[in-house]
Structure 1
Amino acid sequence: MDGFLAGLKLFRSTMAEVKGVKKSNHDSLLTQCINKTYRSVDHSQSLLSGLMGLRDGGILFDVVLSLEGKSVSAHRILLAASCDYFRGMFAGGLKEMEQREVQIHGISYNAMCKILDFIYTSELELSIYDVHETLAAACQLQITEVIKFCCDFLITWVDEENILELYKLADLFHLMRLNDHLDAFVHKNFITFSRTQMFRQLPIEKVYSLLNSNQLEVGSENEVYEGALLYHYTPEQVETDQVSLSESPKLLETVRFPLMELSVLQRLHTKLGPCPLQKTVSSALDYHRNEIMQPVLQSPHTQIRSEFQCVVGFGGMYSAPYTVLTDQAKYLNPIMKEWRPLTAPQAPRMSNQGIAVLNNFVYLIGGDNNVRGYRAETRCWRYDPRHNRWFPIQSMQQPRADLSVCVLEGFIYAIAGRDYHSEHKDVERYDPCTNCWEYVAPLQKQVHAHAGAALDGKIYITCGRIGSIYMKDTWCYDPEKNQWTNVAPSSTRRAWHGMVSVLEKLYIIGGSNDDEGFRQDVLEVARYNPRTDQWCQMRPLPEGHGEPGIAVLHNKIYVMGGRSHNRGSRTDYVHTYEPENDVWEEGPQLEDDISVCFTSM
């Protein structure tokens, strides 16, 4: 009996617990149900349809708008909800709150009907005949969407015939987007537009701004000079040289005379008498004559008319035949995502050279000249995109290939490398002000096939090879102390890799090593933080890139071409890396399997 009672008590206790659990679950489900929210995707359109039905049926109208002696009925609450103008009128304590009929000034009847159609239907029909008055009404009523639609419509009508009127509208209603589109139209069509009567009717302040822009699309600065004259003279007068330059037109201030062709400057200088323009032309001639010093003679008037940045590749070696070098130059259009030939004169036929950009001049440093028996060179060259030509600069004091080249504080550093007799630890730097190389503190060890980058006023060198041994060391150069120091080594031995600085970090990518007893691709990507002196592993490369071209554009790393030892050939593939998201993507392929040096400019 006692056992039975004990069992009964246990059963009752268990049932109570089960009921408690059920109640708890029930309460939880109730809470979830109470808090659930539903949203209708059709409600907004249904509400508009209902309001339109009231309008069509003339139901519940409570205000009449009077314009130009005509009237139109509407719903006061809908008008107040649609724009600040009516909200202030009907909910801001004004006398119109109590008026059945309200006078609207400064807006045409037709424009108000257009606006009301938009308020009730969210649709706006525009034509070239009514867009002006609709725009004026939308600006007065402060209806942003209607202003945007009017602006979109006007943009579709931009051409040489109506550009003057559209500029006036953009200025009158403060339409910056329309103004920017008009500027872009003139920039793109400047050569033809500058020969029209409309060009000469633009305000001189606007023309000055257009001619001063980096976005002006011209084949040469000569065309900007002609355009400045065409504002004051007819095309016939400019072509027959019937212009007076003793009192220089103000628009000539926008011309970047150092970028004009030398022969044109010489003819112009000969024609000019003593005047301010003659001094300007003389300075431009001095810039041309002092070619070696051009990188340090930069000013706003020597800057290329372009805001287009791209990745550029020079030289390199094809996969087959093995000894064939290329003198081609190519650039990657990041918008079109395709490689295009750069119409530059032949680049030096080199491989394993260093590359750098200083003041938007490209420098090729040393490298191997296979035509001469696969030997390292001392020679260096500079490419000027302003005049599209190569110029030899002072040779290095030592022949170098498989070197690292870095730019720091206006100097170009050529670090270590090798010739075909020995490896180097010497470091020399180039001063563009003197066109001379000088030695600075050497590395602690000979090394070649390493990589380097500058960050926060210092140069960092990683990995490389000493003899047949692959390294994972990292060195840091401080120019103030003229001293190299060892910092934290990377986790992976490698050589013939790429290295860049981006977003205050250093990245080493690609390369090869022989950790498995044979030469293989290194896919590991490492990031170095100089503030903590620590390396960390990032997402690995999708494919091998040894001897790659590497560049940074808009905080994105481009890894291009090179050699894949796993595949046994040079490669044509390109990969891009986003450091902020640690993501790799395939980029536009090169046309050939090639190992080539790249930079961004």
Structure 2
Amino acid sequence: TYRSAEHSQALLSGLVSLRDSSILFDVVLIVEEKPIEAHRILLAASCDYFRGMFAGGLREMEQEEVHIHGISYNAMCKILNFIYTSELELSVNSVQETLAAACQLQIPEVIKFCCDFLMSWVDEENILDVYRLADHYDLRHLSDQLDSYILKNFAAFSRTQVYRQLPLQKVYSLLSSNRLEVNYEFEVYDGALFYHYSPEQLETDQVSLMEPLKLLETVRFPLMEPQILQRLHDKLSPCPLKDTVADALMYHKNECLQPMLQTSQTQLRSEFQCVVGFGGMHSTPSIVLSDQAKYLNPLLGEWRHFTAALAPRMSNQGIAVLNNFVYLIGGDNNVSGFRAESRCWRYDPRHNKWFQIQSLQQEHADLSVCVVDNYIYAVAGRDYHEDLREVERYDPKSNTWEYVAPLKKEVYAHAGAALDGKMYITCGRRGEDYLKELQCYDPKTDRWDILADGPVRRAWHGMAALLGKLYVIGGSNNDSGYRRDVHQVACYRPSTDQWTNVCPLPAGHGEPGIAVLDNRIYVLGG
């Protein structure tokens, strides 16, 4: 089938030529008592308003002159020029009447362009007028854009008089948003007070906090640093706010139990999700353990470093995410000889800091780690003296590890993933042998079951759960008589206990990091 790339533009050009030559006009629009000639069929094709008028059985179908009310002559000329040419010229003086016309005529593309034009001119002097415009025409998209403008410029905007003219409920909504861009939570506290007091009043301490201010409900006090909270607590007289600050201080003092103390008040002000990589080992120019951390911004497609004090240096550790805390479990420290680790750490992105949690009851290197029902499981591995089959479970509520049912046989260099409340372990090594076993643990029965073998033996691979399936990715085996990368990616469906092969990796990945984000599987390094 032939499809012309130029036909639509040629058709538009032909219609413009007909208009400029006053040929085949069949309707006259009367706008503010002024006539505008047009082609009825083009108007009907351009928007629902004219389609209903000229093709919906209304009396305008037979009229040669049609009166249009509620639209200015200049705006109608601009709209008609857009219909004929797909071009629209706006100015600060014409945008409001053009927007009104586009809303009445129901032309979404023009409405959007007018809103975008308005946003390019928004500042603190006119933002209230634009809010009123959005409300009058029920333009939710424009209202959301205005909200985004304030959320992005909150620190400066909250110090203006215009800020204090916004409706209280609007400000409450903005201060409650995860998209509020502030460097520190204390800026939100100041912003809540700025709505009731001027910056000068705050600086001279002319503020009364004995009665609770509703906007202070939006401040996430646990996100503030303890030193700032303590200064605020010491300055306050007995009042509800002082009790709230005291609760936030208690949150910091109970650092060990913070994962179990999560509420909306401890949630980061961000909707940004990313893939993060921790630690590992550099092999050149010499073997060095890394304490670096990097995050991948999926929108930009690039990696960036971030630093946190007292970061552990580990490799081959298990990694898990629970309640938006990152846990590094066991692993090894093989710079000088082989040494398995029992130590464990927890990273808090809210305060960009590490905390050492209770160590495992025994060293585990080349283990797998999974999260099921708010527990972290450390499964088997080796301690460089023997292969392991022991399984330990971590309870964040008590900061303790306990043994649960062990595997039926020892395994290390395996991979695991959790799906539908169960934990699955696949492949790995036992002694010098590469495996293709699949085992499943049900925490309700504290029992391991043997499932269908995978299609290929492998170890030092990765595993991910996505959309009801398990994917086994990368690793290596010695099927060729020497250790060689496995490119094959296997997919397991628990509902049928069957394996299939999917698109292979383009390159080998031994000991890769695996992450799932936005229904995509990321394979990192190795």
User: Alpha-carbon deviations, 1:420-448, whole Å to 9, x = none?
Assistant: 22121111100011111111000011111
Structure 1 position 181, deviation (Å): 2.4
What residue in structure 1 maps to residue 361 of structure 2? 397
1:423-475 deviation line (CA, Å, top 9, x unaligned): 21111100011111111000011111111111111111111111112111111
Residue 422 of structure 1 is matched in structure 2 by 386
- Residue 227 of structure 2 aligns to which amino acid in structure 1? S
Equivalent in 422, 425, 434 of residue 458 of structure 1? 422
DSSP 3-state at the match of 2:113: helix
Name the amino acid aligned to 2:350: R
Amino acid at match of 1:548: P
Task: Please list, as runs of the form range in 1=range in 2, the aligned pairs for 1:349-368 lying within 5 A after superposition.
Answer: 349-368=313-332
Match of 1:257 in 2: 221
Matches within 5 A, 1:93-242: 94=58, 96=60, 100-242=64-206
2:472 is aligned with 1:521? no
Question: Residue 244 of structure 1 aligns to a residue in which SS?
Answer: coil
The partner residue of 1:276 within 223, 240, 251 is: 240
Unaligned ranges ≥5, structure 2? none
How has the CA–CA distance of structure 1 residues 237 and 73 changed in structure 2, closer, same or farther, with 3 Å as cutoff?
same
- Write the deviation string for residues 496-524 of structure 1: whole angstroms up to 9, x where unpaired: 11111112111111112222332222222
Quick one: which amino acid aligns to residue 171 of structure 1?
D
Equivalent position of 1:326 in the other structure: 290
Unmatched segments (≥5 aa) in structure 1: 1-36, 563-601
Aligned CA distance change for structure 1 residues 83 and 368 (closer, same or farther; 3 Å): closer
Residue 30 of structure 1 corresponds to which residue in structure 2? Answer: none
The separation in 1 between residues aligned to 2:292 and 2:376, in whole angstroms, is 24
Matched-pair contact (CA < 8 Å) for 1:246–1:275: yes
Q: Which residue of the partner structure matches residue 585 of structure 1?
A: none
Residue type of the partner of 2:133?
A: L
User: Structure 1 pair 112/396, CA: closer, same or farther in 2 (3 Å)?
Assistant: same
Contact 1:257/1:281 (CA < 8 Å) preserved in 2?
yes
After TM superposition, list the pairs within 5 Å mapping 1:30-41 onto structure 2: none
Code of the residue aligned with 1:428 in structure 2: it is E
Superposed CA deviations along residues 16-41 of structure 1, whole A, max 9, x for unmatched, are xxxxxxxxxxxxxxxxxxxxx87766
Aligned length: 526
Letter in 1 for 2:440: C
2:34 is aligned with 1:70: yes
* 1:532 equivalent in alignment to 2:496: yes
Shift of the 531–71 alpha-carbon distance from structure 1 to 2, 3 Å rule, reads same
Residue identity opposite 1:206 in structure 2: K
Q: Which of 406, 412, 419 is the equivalent residue of 1:442?
A: 406
Task: Work out the CA distance in 2 between the residues paired with 1:356 and 1:80.
Answer: 58
Post-superposition shift, 1:62?
4.9
Bigger Cα displacement from structure 2, 405-414 vs 266-275 = 266-275
CA distance, structure 2, for counterparts of residue 38 and residue 495 of structure 1: 52
Whole-Å separation in 2 of the counterparts to 1:317 and 1:44:
58
Q: Is 1:479 matched up with 2:443?
A: yes
Check 1:60–1:239 CA distance in 2 against 1; reply closer, same or farther (3 A cut). same
Task: Provide the secondary structure at the position in 2 that maps to 1:472.
Answer: strand
Task: Report the alpha carbon displacement of residue 99 of structure 1 after superposing the two structures with TM.
Answer: 5.0
CA 1:53–1:460: 2 relative to 1, 3 Å: closer
Q: Shift of residue 60 of structure 1?
A: 5.2
Tell me, in whole angstroms, the C-alpha distance in 2 between the residues paired with 1:331 and 1:399: 28
SS of the equivalent of 1:197 reads: coil
Give 1:429's aligned amino acid: R
> Is residue 345 from structure 1 mapped to residue 312 from structure 2 by the alignment?
no
Matches within 5 A, 1:545-560: 545-560=509-524
> Cα distance, 1:386 vs. partner?
0.8
Alignment partner of 2:350 out of 383, 386, 389: 386
Cα displacement (A) at 1:139: 1.1
CA contact (8 A) 1:314 1:347 kept: no
Residue aligning to 1:507? 471
How far has the Cα of 1:373 moved from its partner?
A: 5.0
Which protein has the larger Cα radius of gyration, Structure 1 or Structure 2? Answer: 1
Deviation at 1:170, TM superposition (A): 2.1
1:340 Cα deviation after fit: 0.7
Offset of 1:372 from its aligned partner? 7.1
SS at match of 2:501: strand
Change in 2 beyond 3 A, CA 1:87/1:444: closer
- Asked whether the 8 Å contact 1:328–1:346 carries over to 2, the reply is no
Q: Does 1:301 align with 2:232?
A: no
1:171-199 CA deviation, whole Å, 9 max, x = no partner? Answer: 22222332232222222222222222332
Q: Give, in whole Å, the separation in 1 of the partners of 2:239 and 2:499.
A: 62
Question: 1:265-290 CA deviation, whole Å, 9 max, x = no partner?
Answer: 12222232333322322221221111
CA shift, 1:116, in A, is 2.5
Query: Post-superposition shift, 1:209?
Result: 1.6
Query: Separation in 2 of the partners of 1:278 and 1:376?
Result: 47
Could you state the TM-score of these two structures normalised by the residue count of structure 1? Answer: 0.82
SS of the residue aligned with 2:403?
A: strand
Code of the aligned partner of 1:121: T
Q: Pick closer, same or farther for the CA change 1:110–1:349 going to 2, 3 Å.
A: same
Query: What displacement does 1:402 show?
Result: 0.8
SS for the counterpart of 1:454 is: strand
Greater relative contact order structure (CA < 8 Å, 6+ sep): 1
Query: What is the rounded CA distance, in whole Å, between the counterparts of 2:51 and 2:485 in structure 1?
Result: 68
Alignment of 1:485-504 (within 5 A): 485-504=449-468
Deviates more, 1:400-409 or 1:158-167: 158-167
The alignment partner of 1:369 has SS state of coil
The whole-number CA distance in structure 1 between the counterparts of 2:388 and 2:44 is 79
**Structure 1 residue 89: Cα displacement:** 4.1
Closer, same or farther in 2 for the Cα pair 1:474/1:92, shift >3 Å?
A: closer
Contact 2:292 2:307 (C-alpha < 8 Å) held by counterparts? no
Q: Deviations over 1:72-95 (max 9, x none)?
A: 344445444433334444555555
Distance 1:63 1:285, change over 3 A: same
- Deviation readout 1:243-280 (Å, 9 max, x if unpaired): 22122322111111111111221222223233332232
Instruction: Look up the match of 1:17.
Output: none
> Does structure 1 retain, via aligned residues, the 8 Å contact 2:79–2:102?
yes
Q: Distance in 1 between matches of 2:117 and 2:21?
A: 32
Please give the alpha-carbon distance, in whole angstroms, between the structure 2 residues aligned to 1:385 and 1:278: 26
